[in-house]
Structure 1
Amino acid sequence: MLIYALKRLRSLVLSLLVASVVIFAVIEVVPGDPAAFMLGINAQEDTIAALREELGLNLSVYQRYFNWVGGLLSGDFGISYTYRSPVAEIVTERLWVSLPLAAYALSLTVLLAFPAGILAASRRGSVTDLSVMGFTQLGVAIPNFWFAMLMVLAFAINLRWFSAGGFPGWDEGFWISMKSLTLPAIALALPQASILARVMRSSLLDTLGEDYVRTCRAKGLSKAQALWRHALRNALIPVLTIIGLQFSFLLAGAIIIENVFFLPGLGRLVFQSISQRDLIVVESVVMLLVFAVILVNFAVDIAYALVDPRLRRGR
């Protein structure tokens, strides 16, 4: 188990190194000068040059890269060109919105998908199975931003059960803040739950067709006992992969939903920073999101080893 974990950790470090090079290179080739953008079209050349020196933009590409990576390792993400405040503070403030939103949406996804997938697999070919698969197909087909706008219209404008957007802050109370994240979380969870339910059903049906499950039935176990005691655990391996990918998507891919509900999260921060040419914020936030994706994949790999003993034995 330890050797397996160390191999996965080595892959994590190499992935982060490659990602940092790619992110920095992509941001560097973006046209436009941040200093000239900040000062406007009427700025003088000497003023632009002074600002470039202040921001460190006059250094070579290699110096800027190593300064940026060194800052990331020490927790210093630099100073935002637009907000003129430490990027770490801005990111931390926005992370307290995006991270709970992603966790909330993932929890709803699992709570909806697992029972639906298991129910459909246990009643294969029945009306229940066809109904569940029909609803999941509908969930995959509906764009989450369109579903979000429908929920705003129904639950915020007509019924007035929820606010139409914005985030009051955690200082206003836990339940008030979670209530403001409920509609965005549901909008994010619907398509993900549909995908996960279909994967759960498919994986469980494949596992139920294995020889060891038939042997369990031949020894006297009921279909439900064979499913819950033996088939379900082995069916979780591909499901864990999807859950890890979904959490990464929910954390990094909620830009549209955050803009629909006017949530001050990481996705909206990246969108605003790109439009304002605040490259240091874009680089830092994207690198943080990449780190989250790779870390989640590392956690999924460790979960594989916990579920499948063959991986712990190095097979």
Structure 2
Amino acid sequence: MIAFLARRALALVLTLLAATVAIFLLLEVAPGDPALTMMGMNADPEAVEALRRELGLDAPLVTRYATWVLDMAQGDFGTSYTYKTPVSELVAERLAVSAPLTVYALALSTLIAIPAGVFAASRRGRAGDYAVMGLTQAGIATPNFWFAMLLVILFSTVLQLFSAGGFPGWEAGFWAGIKALTLPAVALALPQASILARVMRSALLDAMGEDWMRTARAKGLSRGQAIRRHALRNALIPVLTIIGMQFSFLMAGAIIIENVFFLPGLGRLVFQGVIQQDLIVVKSVVVLLVFAVVLVTLAVDVAYALVDPRLRERRP
């Protein structure tokens, strides 16, 4: 198990380094000048050049990349050009919204999708199966931002059960924070639950068609017992893959939802950083998101090994 984890960790570290190079180069070739954006289009060229030197933007490309990566490795993400605040403080503040929102949405997605997928697979070709597949198709086809607006109209405007947006802060109380994140989490979760339910159904049907399932039934297990004891565990490997991908998507892809609900999360911070040419914020947040994806990938690999110990013996 230790050798298995070491191989995976090395591969993921190399992936993270490659990602930092790609992110740095992409933002370097992007149009715009942060110093000119900060000073204004009519600013004096000498003042703009002085600001570029102050920000370190006049240094060679390799030097700036090496300085950026080494500083991040020590926990120093630099200072925001716009907010004049350490990026680490901005990220910590916004992560207190984005991380709970992601976990909340992923929990809702999983709690909805796995029972729905098992229900559909156990009733293949019957009315229950068709109903679940129809609902999941509708969920996949519905953009989450449009669904978010429907939720605001229904639960905020008509029923007045939830606020239409904003976040009161965790100092207002745990349940106040959870209530503010509920509609955004549902808007994020339902399309992902639709995908996960279909994967769960497909994987479970494949497992139910294996010879060992017929052997289990021949030994006297009922259909439900055979599914719970044997088929479900074997069907979890592709499901774990999708859950890991969904966590990454929810963490990095909630920009639109955070803007719909005016949530001060990482997605909105990146959006504002792009608009304001605050490249140090954009680079740092994107790298942190990539790091989160890398950690989730490692966690999924560990989950694979726990679900199917045979994978620990395979070489990459």
Percent of aligned pairs sharing the same letter: 66
Matched, 1:145 2:152: no
Identify the residue that residue 195 of structure 1 maps to in structure 2: 195
How much has 1:194 moved relative to structure 2?
Answer: 0.4
Alignment of 1:178-193 (within 5 A): 178-193=178-193
Q: In the aligned structure 1, how far is the partner of 2:69 from the partner of 2:156?
A: 44
Q: Which residue of 1 aligns with 2:11?
A: 11
Cα deviations by residue, 1:52-81 (Å, 9 ceiling, x for unpaired) = 111111111111101100111000000100
Q: Name 1:256's counterpart in structure 2.
A: 256
| Structure 1: distance between partners of 2:178 and 2:304 | 31
Structure 2 residue 292 is matched with structure 1 residue 292:
yes
Structure 1: which amino acid aligns with 2:300? V
Counterpart for residue 160 of structure 1: 160
CA distance in structure 1 between the partners assigned to 2:2 and 2:119 by the alignment: 37
Which letter does structure 2 place at the counterpart of 1:42? N
1:54-93 pair list within 5 angstroms: 54-93=54-93
In structure 2, what is the Cα distance between the partners aligned to 1:179 and 1:214? 47
Q: How does 1:1-315 map to 2 (within 5 A)?
A: 1-314=1-314
The CA deviation string for residues 241-283 of structure 1, in whole angstroms up to 9 with x for no partner, is: 0000000000000010000000010111111100100000000
Q: How far apart are the structure 1 equivalents of 2:19 and 2:281?
A: 16
| Over 4 Å off, 4+ runs | none
Aligned residues: 315
Amino acid at match of 1:260: V
CA-to-aligned-CA distance 1:96-140 (integer Å, 9 cap, x gap): 100000000000001100110001111111111111111111111
Distance 2:60 2:163 in 1: 48
Scaled by the length of structure 2, the TM-score of the pair is 0.98
Distance in 2 separating the partners of 1:276 and 1:41: 13
Rounded to whole Å, the distance in 1 between the matches of 2:151 and 2:35 is 42
TM value normalised by structure 1: 0.99
Using the TM superposition, give the Cα deviation of residue 41 of structure 1 relative to its aligned residue in structure 2, in angstroms. 1.6
Which runs of 5 or more structure 1 residues have no equivalent in the other structure? Answer: none
In structure 2, how many angstroms separate the alpha carbons of the residues matched to 1:245 and 1:314?
22
Bigger drift between 18-27 and 45-54 goes to 45-54
Distance across 1 between alignment mates of 2:286 and 2:146:
26
- Superposed displacement of residue 153, structure 1: 0.5
Deviations 1:161-190 (A, max 9, x none): 000000000000000011000000000001
Distance 1:265 1:180 in 2: 13
> What letter matches 1:105 in structure 2?
A
Alpha-carbon shift at residue 289 of structure 1 (Å): 0.5
User: Following the alignment from structure 1 to structure 2, what is the Cα–Cα distance between the partners of residues 314 and 144?
Assistant: 39
Tell me the CA shift for residue 312 of structure 1.
2.1
d(CA) in 2 for partners of 1:37 and 1:67?
Answer: 23
Q: Deviations over 1:25-60 (max 9, x none)?
A: 000001121111100022112211211111111111
Amino acid of the structure 2 residue aligned with 1:180 = A
Structural RMSD (CA): 0.8
User: Aligned partner of 1:282: which letter?
Assistant: V
- Alignment partners' CA distance in 2, 1:313 and 1:17: 27
CA distance in 1, matches of 2:199, 2:36: 50
Deviation at 1:314, TM superposition (A): 3.0
